[in-house]
Amino acid sequence: MAGLNLKNFYDLKFIANINIAKDKIFFEVFSPNEDSNDYTSSIYELRDKKVLKYSRGEKDKDALISPNEEMMIYTSKEDKKLSIIFRDINKGNERVIFRTDINLKSYKWSSDSKSIYAILERKQKDEDYRIIDDYPIYFNGEGFVHNSEYSLIKIYTNGKKEELWKGEDEIIEIEPMQDGKNIAAIVRPKGWDVYDSRLSLFSIARKKFEFLTSERVGISNIHSLKDGRIIFLMNRHERSIFESPKFFIYSKKEIIPLSQKYDISISNSVNSDSRMGKNRLIKVRGEKIYFVSTSEGRAGLYSLDFNGKLYREINGNFSIDGYDILGNEIYYISQSSNEPQEIWVSKDKKIKKITDLNRKISSFKLNKAENFKVRASDGKELDCWFIKGKSKSTILEIHGGPRTSYGEGFIFEFHLLNQRGFNILYSNPRGSDSYGDDFALEIKEKYGERDYKDINEVVDYAISKFRIDPKKIGVDGGSYGGFMVNWIIGHTDRFRAAITDRSISDQISFYFTSDIGPRFNGDQIGGNPLDNFEHYLNKSPIKYYRNVKTPLLIVHSDEDYRCPLSQAMEFYTALKTNGNNVKMIIFKGENHELSRGGKPKNRVKRLEEIINWFENNIFDEKSKK
C-alpha cells in the first residue's frame, strides 16, 4: 500500500458533539470537501452498531437535546442564512423555527422544553470606512467587533419569538434556570477584553441583569441545579490570565470554591489538527460534575462530587474530545498520537471502539509515537514523544499557546512528514499545560529562557537516544511555537532549516496590533512596552535577526488578528535585507486557525509547502534516493 499523502487529508472525518436522548445516540461529522473547498457537516445517529445519517443537510451542526429528551434543535446553513431546525425525536417531523442572516452566537433550551433562548450579535454595517471609538478593534476569526449590538431572544417551538434584552454588553453564555424565571449568564461589559467577564442573573419578568460577581475574572461553563445553585468555572487571574480555572458554586449570594485543592487543567489542551465542531466539557449528573481534564499530554474524563472529592472516570493513552452518559455507559470521542477520532464506549471500566469512520486513515498503520522522559538540567522532568522515520533527518515540532500541550493527539501534519521519511520529535517544555500551574507559569515574563533551554536539552537527549543525525534537524512551530522558532534561529545555528507559522517576531508591535496584545503581553512579557522598552526589545526575536543563518519559511494569513501579518512582514523584511535564505507564503482570507479550520485547499497547500521546504533544505541527494 502507498503511504499517506496530501490527498488523504480529504479522507479525514472530524467527529464532535455527542448527545444522548434516552437511548438514542447522536453525533456530528465534519468532512473536508475538495470540490467545494469547504466542510460538510451532518448529524448522525448510532443505531444497532450502525452509523446512520440523521439530518438531511450538508451544513447541519450544533445539535442540542431538550431537557425532556424528546426534541432536538440544530442549525442548518443555506444561501448565507442560518436556520434553527426543530425536530421531534420520536415522531421524526421537523420544521424551521428561526431564520437569520446575522450572527447567532449560541442557544439553550428552556427548562420546560417549550422554548429556547438565543444570543444574537448585530455587527456594524460594513462600509468603505470604519469609525472606531472603542477597544478591542477586531478579534481573530470574527473581524471587526467594535460597535456590535447583542440581543437575548426567546424562540418558541412554534416559531413565535420575543426579544428580551438588547444592548452593547456582550452575552457570552446563557443557562436557563430551572425555576423558569431567570437565566444565568456570562456577560462581558462593553470595553472589557476577552479574558474578563462577570457572572450574571437575568430576570425574565423584569428584563434586567443582576451582576453576581464584580471583579474582572474569567468565567465559563455555567450549569444550573434544581435548587437554584449555579456551578461554573472561574479564573481569578491571581497569578496570570493563564492560570487554570477552578470549579465554584454560587449559592445564596455566596461564591463557594469546590476544586481549589486540585492543581489540574480543566479542558482538553492536547494539540491536534484533526478535530472540528463543539464538544461537551462539563456535565452535571446526579451528585457529580463530570469534566474533561488534561494530565501529562492525555485528556481524560474525571468527576467531582459536591463535597470536592475527585474521581478518575476514563484515562489512558488517548485524549477525549467529547462525551455523554447513558446509564452506566459513557460514550466518548477520542484520538491518540497515531489514530484519528472515533467513538468509544466505557462500561464497568472496560472500553470498546464502536465506530470506524476514519478507517481509511487508520489503514495506513501509522507509526505510534514513543513517549519518553528527559531530565532537564535543573532537575525537572519533561514529557517528550518521538515518531521514528525511515531516514536520520528529524523535524522538531514546537506547540503554540504556550499553555497547550502535545501528547496523545492525532496530528495529520506529523504523520505526513513521517511518511516522507522524517523522524518527528516533540515535547512539553516549561510553559506547557497539563503539569500544573507552577510548570505552566514558570516562563511568565521569561520567554526564551527556560523554555529555550528545555527544548535544546530535549534535542540533545534525542540525538543520543535515537541516533539521529545532528546535522539534519529542522524546526517547526506555530503561534507561540512560531515565536520560539524565530527565537531559536536567532540564538543557534544548529538547525538545518526552519518554518515559522503564524508567529510573533516583535513583542513591541504585537502589543499594539494583536487583538489580545495589551492583556496578553502585559501578562506574559510584562507591563507596557513604552514603560518597559528594553525588556520588550530583548524578548523580541527580531532583535537577533543578524545572527540568523538558518533557511526560513514564513507561513502566515492576512486576516490573522491574533498574530497580525505585520509580525511576518517585519521578520521577512529584516532577514531579506540581511541577505538570508527566507521565503514567505501568505494565505488570503485565512486567520490564526488556518492549520485547524482553514479552507481545505489552503490547508493542503500549507502542508505541501512545509514538506517541500524541509525536503529541499534537509535531505541531501543521497537521502532523497
Per-residue pLDDT, 134: 82
Strand partners of residue 344: 332, 353
DSSP state of 543: G
Q: Which residue has the cell 531516514?
A: 391
pLDDT reported for residue 17: 98
Residue 541 CB contacts under 8 Å (≥ 6 apart), including other chains: 448, 483, 486, 487, 490, 504, 505, 506, 571
Residue 177 has pLDDT above 80, yes or no: yes
| DSSP 8-state symbol, 524 | I
Shared-domain flag, residues 513 and 388: yes
Secondary structure, 3-state, 3-47: CCCHHHHHHCCEEEEEEEECCEEEEEEEEEECCCCEEEEEEEEEE
Phi then psi for residue 527, to 5 deg, are: 70, -160
Q: Span 455-472, mean pLDDT?
A: 97
Same domain, 427 and 548: yes
- At 358, which amino acid appears? N
Is 58 part of any domain? no
- Any domain includes 563: yes
Residues 393 and 522 in one domain: yes
Is residue 606 included in any domain, yes or no?
yes
Q: Which residue has the cell 515559522?
A: 500
Q: What are the contacts of 58-62 at 24+ separation with CB within 8 A?
A: 60/28, 60/85, 61/16, 61/17, 61/28, 61/30, 61/277, 61/278, 62/17, 62/28, 62/278
Could you tell me how many residues make up the chain?
625
Comparing 5-14, 27-36, 105-114, 614-623, the range with the smallest average pLDDT is 614-623
Instruction: Give the CB-side neighbour count of residue 312, counting CA atoms within 13 A.
Output: 10
Question: How many structural domains does the chain have?
Answer: 2
Any idea what the CATH number is for the domain that residue 427 is in?
3.40.50.1820
Domain interval for residue 206: 102-258
Does residue 525 lie within any of the structural domains? yes
Mean pLDDT of all residues in 151-159: 96
252 and 375 belong to one structural domain:
no
Give domain status of residue 138, yes or no. Answer: yes
Across 325-333, average pLDDT = 97
Q: Say yes or no: 377 and 253 in one domain.
A: no
Answer yes or no: do 399 and 542 share one domain: yes
* Co-location of 242 and 379 in the same domain: no
Q: Which positions ≥6 away from 86 have C-beta within 8 Å? A: 71, 72, 73, 94, 95, 96, 97, 157
List, for residues 34-90, the tens digit of each pLDDT value: 999 999 999 999 998 899 999 999 999 999 999 999 999 999 998 889 999 999 999
- Is 88 a member of any domain? no
Percent helix / strand / coil, the chain, rounded to 5? 20, 40, 40
For 111-181, strand residue ranges (E) read 115-122, 138-139, 143-144, 149-156, 161-167, 170-176
What is the pLDDT at residue 285?
94
Last residue of a domain, one of 226, 258, 290: 258
Give per-residue pLDDT as tens, 245-260.
Answer: 999 999 999 999 999 9
Reported as a pLDDT band with limits 50, 70 and 90, residue 620 is low
Query: How confident is the model over 469-473, as a mean pLDDT?
Result: 97
Task: Report which of residues 143 and 60 the model is more confident about.
Answer: 60
Q: Quick one: which H or E segment has residue 606?
A: helix 600-617
Closest C-alpha to 300, from 287, 313, 285: 313
Question: Residue 623: pLDDT band by 50, 70, 90 thresholds?
Answer: very low
Give residue-wise pLDDT tens across range 434-450. 999 999 999 999 999 99
Average pLDDT over residues 99-111: 95
Taking the CA atoms of 480, 571, 495 and 473 in sequence, report the sign of the dihedral they define: positive
Average pLDDT over residues 91-107: 94
In the predicted structure, residue 621 carries a pLDDT above the cut 70: no
Instruction: Decide if 54 is inside a domain.
Output: no
The answer to whether residues 130 and 44 touch, using CB atoms and an 8 Å cutoff, is no
In a domain, 353, yes or no: no
Tell which of 223, 242, 258 closes a domain.
258
Residue 38: strand pairing partners:
33
SS3 call for 182: strand
Q: Which of 230, 258, 286 is the last residue of a domain?
A: 258
pLDDT(571) > 80: yes
Burial of 497 (0-12, 13-18, 19+ CB in 10 A): buried
Q: For position 122, which CATH number holds?
A: 2.120.10.30
| pLDDT band (50, 70, 90) for residue 411 | very high
3-state secondary structure of 455: helix
